[in-house]
A = this chain, B = another copy of it.
């Protein structure tokens, strides 16, 4: 480790350990994760490459926050409470000390927001684009991690929040698509700052028997749950929860079914799709929440393999390969 790496770790990243002794001040070869009696650890790891998983125009702080948040979304869907992170970051030659500091500051802001401490990791240089991976550790009561495979036939499929904003938001952020100016700003914000549903982890591990985060698209991820559970599913696309900007966009589309299918397969929602028994589903959908943040029942797990989608009670063909390769 050279002088610059050493100093930068001390100045940029050590504060992000929030003084936790298990991080060993980021000075040791490894970090310690103590056992907590009665709890299992849940571990996830996602990587991003600037220009591939994030727009090339996205700034250092936004990249840091996207990286943390996509991992938090994975953890939330498992019913786990976030605990700590390890970061590997490859600085491109074009990044200045100020860019690196902005990355660390953006990360630190979000670590604090979500109650995660930095335990360790690695910083390297790359002649290529910025890229980074984050390993996120969370905790669940022993044996209570919610898997994709826990669905049972007849259970209700629910989705949290609103669907389609991420996909519309990517278009909005790129300057593509047809949006009123306020909707463009709002949707682009939804794309730029995914809002992982860490607030739902307790509900998920209490009420749901299977869950996945919605990152590939609602249809694909509902399909993953059904397939992992060795079941099929039916989803009512017209029941899909939409934000006001997404609803306005939908109203402008000539082909409503095609537009609903696009919203349901666009991805980048970072909501949760889950399976629950009828009584639990009712508790979830009736829980009081902020607008656009609650649970919506929109489907059912079935014994018939594959994915079926309905619009206003009529079956519609699903051609999306994001799903079909699993069907």
Contacts and interface: CB of A to CB of B under 8 A. Distances in A.
Interface of A: 1-3, 6-7, 24, 27-49, 51-53, 73-75, 77-78, 80, 86-90, 119-122, 124-129, 131, 133, 135, 137-138, 142, 145, 147-149, 212-213, 216, 224, 228, 321-322, 325-326
A32 B145 contact: yes
A131 B131 contact: yes
A133 B127 CA distance: 16
B44 A120 contact: yes
A124 B53 contact: yes
A11 to B, nearest CB: 13
Contact of A80 (B30, B51, B120, B321): B30
Given A35-B142, A325-B3, A29 B90 contact: no
14 contacts: A7-B325, A28-B149, A28-B228, A29-B78, A29-B212, A33-B41, A35-B35, A35-B37, A35-B142, A47-B89, A47-B133, A122-B133, A126-B131, A128-B131
Contacts of A48: 124
Given A32-B41, A33-B41, A45-B86, 10 more contacts: A29-B74, A29-B75, A29-B148, A30-B80, A35-B37, A37-B37, A53-B124, A88-B133, A122-B133, A135-B135
A47 B122 contact: yes
A185 B216 CA distance: 48
Main SS at interface, chain A: mixed
A114 to B, nearest CB: 15
Contacts of A212: 28-29
A55 to B, nearest CB: 14
A127 B53 CA distance: 12
